[in-house]
């Protein structure tokens, strides 16, 4: 159904683009002025069909826009609704998650922006969402810990302490299964 589909991922469904705004449903930025059709219509009260209708480009020299992307590469390529291939559309990255649509892993923590947003519930802009000193990617993929909890197993030892100080398993309250918690072994019995 044309009213439900958003081919270019700009936030306007194809039906709106074709019949209400007369923009190109295959291009995020119909007039090529560096503002999405959606932004021009809803955020800048600008004409998405002409560059002259863009109050921002009127203030920003086109040369500056070209200097921002001298290689002319795929940043926010309207023909590719997910430029970095991370599973989030360029629009989701720009408008909701505030991540870089050109980098699959904006914060460089070892998890793609999509994995952080959809699988682990971590912040794709923070290397260490729970602030325990271990990168989100390492917690999730290397140590099998919850990157949103400082103490995954709830035994009163942080994941960082268990992994790097005591060599215990941060996902188990009692690493050696002897009936005494890791915390008690370290703080009471030692």
What confidence score (pLDDT) does residue 142 get? 95
Tell me how far apart the alpha carbons of residues 176 and 12 are, in angstroms, rounded to a whole number: 56
Is residue 83 within 8 Å of 76, Cβ to Cβ?
Answer: yes
Average pLDDT over residues 147-151: 96
Question: Could you read off the pLDDT of 3-58 as tens digits, one per residue?
Answer: 468 888 888 888 888 888 888 888 888 877 777 888 878 877 777 887 665 555 54
What confidence score (pLDDT) does residue 1 get? 38
Is residue 88 within 8 Å of 114, Cβ to Cβ?
Answer: yes
Name the burial class of residue 63, with classes exposed (0-12), middle (13-18) and buried (19+) by CB atoms within 10 angstroms of its CB.
exposed
Tell me how far apart the alpha carbons of residues 109 and 105 are, in angstroms, rounded to a whole number: 7
* Whole-angstrom Cα Rg for the chain: 24
Q: Give percent of the chain with pLDDT exceeding 70.
A: 81
Question: Could you read off the pLDDT of 91-121 as tens digits, one per residue?
Answer: 888 888 899 999 999 999 999 999 998 899 9
Q: Where are the domains of the chain?
A: 14-81, 113-187
State the pTM of this model.
0.58
User: In this structure, how many other beta carbons lie within 10 angstroms of the beta carbon of residue 96?
Assistant: 11
What confidence score (pLDDT) does residue 78 get? 56
DSSP letter assigned to residue 162: I
Enumerate residues 6+ apart whose C-beta is below 8 A from 57. Answer: 33, 34, 35, 51, 65
């Amino acid at each position: 159904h044309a009213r439900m589909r958003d081919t270019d991922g700009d936030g306007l469904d194809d039906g709106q683009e074709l019949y209400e705004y007369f923009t190109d449903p295959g291009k995020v930025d119909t007039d090529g002025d560096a503002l999405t059709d959606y932004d021009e219509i809803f955020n800048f009260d600008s004409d998405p069909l002409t560059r002259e209708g863009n109050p921002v480009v009127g203030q920003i020299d086109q040369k500056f826009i070209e200097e921002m992307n001298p290689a002319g590469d795929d940043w926010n390529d309207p023909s590719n609704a997910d430029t970095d291939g991370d599973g989030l559309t360029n629009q989701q990255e720009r408008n909701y998650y505030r991540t870089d649509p050109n980098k699959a892993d904006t914060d460089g923590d070892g998890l793609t922006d999509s994995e952080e947003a959809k699988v682990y519930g971590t912040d794709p802009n923070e290397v260490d969402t729970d602030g325990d000193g271990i990168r989100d990617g390492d917690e999730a993929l290397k140590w099998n810990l919850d990157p949103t909890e400082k103490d995954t197993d709830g035994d009163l030892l942080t994941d960082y302490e268990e992994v790097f100080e005591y060599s215990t398993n941060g996902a188990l309250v009692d690493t050696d299964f002897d009936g005494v918690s890791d915390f008690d072994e370290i703080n009471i019995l030692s």
